[in-house]
């Protein structure tokens, strides 16, 4: 007979796995009545706690870690990660577990942070963002026996929250095709990230099916200045694209400025859109077409998956919400 798990109890009680975990470990986060109900059901079902997990619980740091590998100049203005972190915090609410945030410049610095956290016992688990091919982080964290959730890609022994990047780029590309664009450029920042590679491959395939042309902007960092230069180069090319897709709001801002400086009119002379929406993009003139997602939901899901692992559950994968196209004047405007 298979061993009874927290998931089984949660299903029987009609509550979340996190709620069952809090009740069984006598931690805050559930009401007295819910706790009593869970304990009664667990006893009736024959629950026996994992001895190893219980032994480890007394030596936990009650913190999880997140490292953002980004140019520091962007951290105050990149709304996606602000909302993502807010979602993680919401997922940890009333659990007694804190979020430890570290900003890094490079992969080496990020790996060093994980090593220091492990040696010092500062975190019980880690949420990893921006996965890439040959990513050394999941394996290294497994070596440290640190439960891990990766946002954006599946790895062995790690939980994952997976978004639909293929559908995202399809929505943007099909929209630009419908607006008459036959030459589309993609300002992607860095193609080292797995989700960027998937977007590039999808865009190239869709363009081939349509008999259209795609230009991928050369490698660069995720910064406003780099996007300004990349967009300027596209505008000065012998064959200027009719539409440009930007990988995030920061790159969109740089591209928007480059178009304004060139004397061209966004929406009339060239159409632009972003893979990430934000209040800022909706306030541009013209407002920018973008993909609407909820980073807070991704962060919350990542936190919940990590909490499950911390309570002895197996790592699992969940899907993020479907991307939605928000069409605005930057692709719809044709008047002067």
Q: What is the pLDDT of residues 258-274, one digit of tens each?
A: 999 999 999 999 999 99
Q: What pTM was computed for the model?
A: 0.76
Lowest mean pLDDT among 74-78, 88-92, 255-259: 74-78
- Predicted confidence at residue 31, as pLDDT, reads 86
Name the least confident of 26-30, 48-52, 143-147, 308-312.
48-52
Determine the average pLDDT of the residues in 211-216. 96
Mean pLDDT across 129-135: 91
Work out the burial of residue 192: count CB atoms within 10 Å of its CB; fewer than 13 is exposed, 13-18 middle, 19 or more buried: middle
Q: What is the DSSP string of 129-184?
A: -S-BTT-SHHHHHHHTT--EEEESS--TT-EEEE--HHHHHHHHHHHHHHTT-SEE
Q: How confident is the model at residue 70 (pLDDT cuts 50, 70, 90)?
A: confident
Q: What is the pLDDT of residue 71?
A: 61
Write down the pLDDT at residue 213: 96
- pLDDT mean over 232-250: 95
Q: In the prediction, which pLDDT does 20 show? A: 85
Q: What is the pLDDT of residues 272-295, one digit of tens each?
A: 999 999 889 999 999 999 999 889
Average pLDDT in the chain? 88
Which domains, from first to last, does the chain contain? 6-49 (1.10.260.40), 63-163+295-322 (3.40.50.2300), 165-292+325-332 (3.40.50.2300)
73: pLDDT strictly greater than 60: no
Q: Cα–Cα distance between 55 and 6 in angstroms, integer?
A: 17
Share of the chain above pLDDT 70, in %: 92
pLDDT of amino acid 241: 97
Phi/psi at 144 (nearest 5 deg)? Answer: -85, -5
Token code pair at residue 102: 């570290």
pLDDT band for 57, please (50, 70, 90 cuts).
low
pLDDT confidence tier of residue 206, bands split at 50, 70 and 90: very high
Q: Which of 244, 180, 193, 177 is nearest to 217 (CA)?
A: 244
Side-chain half-sphere exposure of 158, counting CA atoms within 13 A: 29
Q: Which residue has the higher pLDDT, 181 or 46?
A: 181
Question: Which pLDDT does position 55 carry in this prediction?
Answer: 45
What is 172-213 written as a DSSP string?
HHHHHHHTT-SEEEEE-S-TTBHHHHHHHHHHHHHHHHHT-E
In angstroms, rounded to a whole number, what is the distance separating the alpha carbons of residues 66 and 230? 30
At residue 6, the pLDDT reads: 84
28 C-beta neighbours (distance < 10 Å), count: 9
């Amino acid at each position: 007979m298979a061993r009874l798990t927290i998931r089984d109890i949660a299903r029987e009680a009609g509550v979340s796995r996190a709620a069952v975990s809090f009740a069984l470990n006598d931690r805050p986060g559930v009401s007295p009545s819910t706790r009593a109900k869970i304990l009664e059901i667990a006893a009736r079902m024959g629950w026996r706690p994992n001895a190893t997990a219980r032994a480890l619980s007394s030596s936990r740091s009650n913190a999880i870690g997140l490292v953002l590998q980004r140019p520091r100049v962007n951290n105050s203005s990149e709304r996606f990660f602000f909302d993502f972190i807010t979602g993680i915090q919401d997922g940890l609410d009333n659990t007694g577990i804190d979020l430890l945030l570290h900003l890094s410049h490079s992969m080496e610095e990020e790996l060093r942070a994980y090593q220091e956290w492990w040696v010092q016992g500062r975190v019980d688990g880690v949420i990893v963002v921006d996965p890439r091919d040959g990513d050394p982080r999941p394996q290294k964290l497994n070596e440290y026996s640190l439960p891990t959730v990766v946002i954006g890609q599946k790895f062995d022994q790690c939980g994952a929250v997976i978004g639909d990047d293929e559908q995202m780029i399809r929505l943007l590309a099909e929209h630009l095709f419908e607006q008459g664009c036959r030459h589309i450029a993609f300002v992607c920042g860095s193609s080292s990230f797995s989700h960027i590679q998937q977007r590039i491959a999808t865009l190239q395939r869709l363009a081939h099916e349509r008999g259209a042309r795609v230009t991928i902007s050369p490698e660069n960092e995720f910064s406003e200045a780099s996007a300004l230069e990349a967009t300027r180069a596209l505008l000065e090319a012998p064959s200027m694209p009719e539409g440009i897709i930007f990988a995030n709001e920061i790159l969109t801002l740089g591209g928007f400025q480059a178009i304004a400086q060139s004397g061209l009119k966004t929406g009339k002379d060239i159409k632009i859109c972003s893979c990430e929406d934000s209040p800022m993009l909706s306030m541009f003139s013209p407002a920018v077409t973008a993909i609407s997602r909820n980073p807070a939901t991704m962060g919350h899901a990542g936190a919940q998956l990590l909490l499950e692992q911390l309570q002895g559950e197996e790592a699992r994968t969940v899907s993020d919400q479907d991307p939605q196209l928000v069409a605005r004047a930057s692709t719809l405007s044709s008047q002067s």
